Amino acid sequence: MTGAAQMLTVRVPLVVRKQRGGRKLMVAPSSTTSRGSAPADTTLVKALARAFRWRRMMETGRYGTIDELAAAEKINSSYVSRLLRLTLLAPDIVEAILDGRQQEGMTLPALMEPFPIEWARQRGRRWSPSPPPPNPPIAARGARDARPA
């Protein structure tokens, strides 16, 4: 380089938002994310939030049973039980869901199915909902269900 000063200009698009108390918040455009990941699946994030909230309510004694909690939330107790299982997910899996980095196929229906409690086995699992069972052949249904020819 020579002794002459060189100038480098960097332009970063920012939005300035005013907050309470006269503070200003600078926000980067939504197209850039801090971790470079896809947006989080809001269905999964909401389900996790609900599950951890319900767990806290149970642990603090606000509700003594899942049935009491389900009645208060006006939701089927089976659904509450299945959603509460999400609190047993490995912490890194929960973090990946919150960051939008979850494994492909990891959807709420897939997570509502039984999964291993051991974190190592959860990490190695392929998360996709199992297909519905096929209809049994007519012979297996029994004579009562068979149609006459």
Q: Could you read off the pLDDT of 12-70 as tens digits, one per residue? A: 676 777 766 667 766 666 644 444 456 888 999 999 999 999 999 999 999 999 999 99
Q: How far apart are CA 42 and CA 35, in angstroms?
A: 17
| Closest C-alpha to 40, from 88, 113, 108 | 108
Q: 């990490």: which residue's tokens? A: 123
Q: 103: which residues sit within 8 A by CB, 6+ positions away?
A: 96, 126, 127
Longest dimension (CA), the chain: 100
Predicted confidence at residue 57, as pLDDT, reads 96
Q: How far apart are CA 80 and CA 77, in angstroms?
A: 5
Taking residues 106-130, what's their average pLDDT?
90
Predicted confidence at residue 128, as pLDDT, reads 74
pLDDT digit string, tens, across residues 92-111? 999 999 999 999 889 999 99
Strand duo 24-27 + 15-18: pairing: antiparallel
**CA distance readout (Å), 112 to 22, 123, 131, 137:** 46, 16, 13, 28
**Rounded to the nearest 5°, which phi and psi values hold at 26?**
-95, 125
Answer whether 0.75 is exceeded by the pTM. Answer: no
Taking residues 121-141, what's their average pLDDT?
75
**What DSSP designation does 4 have?**
S
Q: Where are the domains of the chain?
A: 42-124
Predicted confidence at residue 32, as pLDDT, reads 46
Residue type, 88: L
Asked whether the beta carbons of 47 and 108 are under 8 A apart, the reply is: yes
pLDDT: which is higher, 134 or 141: 134
